[in-house]
Amino acid sequence: MSSKLLIVVALVSLPVWTITAQQGQRGDTLLGDPSRLTLHNVAATRVQYRGRDAIRLVPRVEGATPGTAVHTIAVVGDTEFRDGTIEADIAGTPAAGADSGARGFVGIAFRVSPSGDRYAAFYLRPTNGRANDQLRRNHSTQYISEPEYPWHRLRREQPGVYESYVDLEPGVWTPIRIEVNQGVARLFVNNAAQPVLIVSDMKNPPDSGRIALWIGAGTEAHFSRLRVTPAR
């Protein structure tokens, strides 16, 4: 068996912020060990991508129950999180053979339930960032709260409130920062001083939960330099 194949396991590990502080590498050591991930409908491998160690995620939804929501996430260790800051570098592209609706969906989920089917998330649609269609550009970033508030419900009920424009390039390392404070969450992209998306009424309860790497359908994504700073 290739050393790049990941066996799906759940291991007890130190919180991300503790590992980061000990290693001094912004969480690279954590992401370099896929055995710290618990997978839900994804396959994960350790790879070199654009000059750095990274985790590659692709959907793996064989056997999913037809008509049910399929959550494609990789939960990171014992990352109990309620409020604080999450930082990561992410890159997403439509996977080979993906349909025309694929956008390279890639992001971070937080306050993830033990079952993996309840969480909040911010994600990017990288191919929208420089599209010639302005409406597509306006859908470059997205907030969701699964399972009650997926993107299509939020867009239908409150258009433009939970998504926004930001300049993006598919497949390029893109730094993001998520700040969560009780019922308010903010997304920062490309080291910007100002958030590109503010959610002042998070739809999920203010419970704590895990952090997860998140991808959407038809996506090949890479993740690196995850760092979590809990609120004090």
Res 132 pLDDT > 80: yes
- The pLDDT of 36-55, averaged and rounded, is 94
Phi, psi of 102 (to 5 degrees): -70, 140
pLDDT band at 64 (very low <50, low <70, confident <90, very high): low
Q: How high is the pLDDT of residue 9? A: 27
pLDDT band at 34 (very low <50, low <70, confident <90, very high): low
Res 96 pLDDT > 70: yes
Q: How high is the pLDDT of residue 229? A: 94
Res 17 pLDDT > 50: no
Q: How high is the pLDDT of residue 6? A: 35
175, 153 contact by CB (below 8 A): no
Question: How many CB atoms are located within 10 Å of the residue 149 CB?
Answer: 18
155, 143 contact by CB (below 8 A): no
Tell me the three state secondary structure of residue 148: coil
Res 10 pLDDT > 70: no
Q: Among the listed ranges 32-41, 166-175, 222-231, which one has the minimum average pLDDT value? A: 32-41
Res 203 pLDDT > 50: yes
pLDDT band at 18 (very low <50, low <70, confident <90, very high): very low
- For residue 15 the two structure tokens come to 């919180």
Q: What is the DSSP string of 166-204?
A: ----TTS-EEEEEEEETTEEEEEETT-SS-SEEESS-SS
Which CATH number does 16-230 carry? 2.60.120.560
pLDDT digits (tens, 9 = 90+) for 136-173: 999 999 999 999 999 999 999 999 999 999 999 999 99
Average model confidence (pLDDT) across the chain: 85
Q: How high is the pLDDT of residue 32? A: 53
